[in-house]
Amino acid sequence: MKILIVGLGYAGGRFKKAFQNAIEATGNGSEPHFAYVGRKDLDNGLTYYASVAAALTGFTPDIVVVTVPDEAHAEILEQLAGFRGFVIAEKPLATSRNDLAPIEKSLENISGFCMDLVERYSDATAFLRAHVRDQGLELVRAHFTWGKDRINDHRPTSGVPSEVIHPLDLVQWICGADLSLDTVIGTRSDFSVSGPEVLDSVALSGRIGSGVVTGYSSFVNITRKREVDFVFRDAQGELLYASAEYDSPAWDADRLRVWRRHSHGDEEIHRLDTGGVPVPPEQRTVVKLGRLVEDVVRFTESGERPATPFAGLDQALDLQELLNLMEHRARTVGPVAYFPHGRTVLQEADWERLG
């Protein structure tokens, strides 16, 4: 199997690790062959191409993984016109400044598409989504807090749309219905090398059916926090509560608690905590990503239906339109000046902070 990674930085390296694990796990004896496109040859023993066009012709990949910075997503995806293999794209699909029609047109011949919405592959998400569906639960209220610290990050970014996409996808995925956006307030700052007024945080509200969704997401949260809380109503009119927490205190350490309240105390319906589950060294930090990649490998090799449905191109386009609307509606304050006298960009020492 031939895998082309466009942008072999931190995220691209995670995908390479996940593919190596996944192809071994499928047990079909095939070997992964990697090539990459980048600004320069990293002299890492892998085949290097200076352009996507040269790689598609010279390497003829089965799978293309797009892990370039946000601002370059649309450009790279458009360069895949005519490609007939599988495409994995880092989120978000594009930025609010990109026309989505050329992206959709360029990918019309691909065999499959999956956006890296990795929290769909959490045990917590899988259980709660199935429970909501099987029990016919109706959303009353959902709230998320989703942020991390990227102040003075050396990587270019489109800002908080690249972060808030996760909880916006999760609440819709778990509830099985689309979110209608209402109000948005935000903050702009120079936290990133991408500019002096990048949208770094948003607080928003919306609805899924009759249920209300509120949330806060930020790229300048001092601590990593990924939490989503739900209140549902069951068929008998009783309330059911659920709280999910992701990647805390480390990658792939997820928790879920589902319960009802009674006068005598809480009735716990379900509890899970993946933080104590032993993980082989080669899978550390890429457990959920590995599940995504295993689905892609099996689909590409044999057409096998994915264990978790892919976040396909239609869903990626819908999410991008939601993010674009969010940016358009945001009433913002700022810009906050973290570096009024210039900055010395720090190279990353704590890779856990990037999650």
Whether the pLDDT of residue 350 is over 80: the answer is: no
Taking residues 153-175, report their average pLDDT. 95
What pLDDT score does 216 carry?
Answer: 98
232-239 average pLDDT score:
97
Confidence bin at 30 (pLDDT 50/70/90):
confident
CB count in 10 Å sphere of residue 245: 19
What's the pLDDT band for 343 if we cut at 50, 70, 90?
A: confident
Average pLDDT over residues 68-92: 98
Cα-based distances in Å from 20 to 64, 69, 119, 239, 271: 15, 23, 20, 44, 32
pTM as predicted: 0.95
* 8 A C-beta contact, residue 311 and residue 114: yes
- pLDDT, residue 119, reads 98
Average pLDDT for 322-327: 98
Which pair of structure tokens corresponds to residue 8? Answer: 């072999």
Residue 123, φ and ψ in degrees, nearest 5: -60, -35
Question: Does residue 7 have a pLDDT over 90?
Answer: yes
Q: What is the mean pLDDT of residues 179-196?
A: 96
Instruction: Flag whether pLDDT at 352 surpasses 60.
Output: no
pLDDT band at 153 (very low <50, low <70, confident <90, very high): confident
User: Mean pLDDT, the chain, as a whole number?
Assistant: 95
- Which position has the higher pLDDT, 353 or 116? 116
Task: For the chain, give the percent of residues with pLDDT over 70.
Answer: 96
What's the whole-number mean pLDDT along residues 131-148?
A: 98
Confidence of residue 344 (pLDDT cuts 50, 70, 90): confident
Whether residue 174 is predicted with pLDDT greater than 70 in this model: the reply is: yes
**Residues 113, 312: contact at Cβ < 8 Å?**
yes
Given a contact cutoff of 8 angstroms between Cβ atoms, the answer to whether 10 and 354 are in contact is: yes
Rounded to whole angstroms, what are the CA distances from 326 to 171, 205, 313? 16, 10, 20
Question: How far lies 238's CA from each of 135, 139, 241, 258, 288, in Å?
Answer: 12, 12, 10, 14, 33
Within 13 Å and on the Cβ side, how many CA atoms surround 93? 28
Q: What percent of the chain has pLDDT over 90?
A: 92
Q: Give pLDDT, residue 201.
A: 98
- The percent helix, strand, coil of the chain (3-state, each to 5) is 35, 30, 35
pLDDT at 355 over 90: no
| Domains along the chain with CATH numbers | 2-118 (3.40.50.720), 119-278+312-354 (3.30.360.10)
Instruction: State the pLDDT confidence band at 115, using cuts at 50, 70 and 90.
Output: very high
Residue 155 has what pLDDT?
Answer: 86
Mean pLDDT of 94-103: 98
Q: What confidence tens digit (pLDDT) does each residue in 252-263 have? A: 999 999 999 999
The pLDDT, as a whole number, for residue 281 is 92
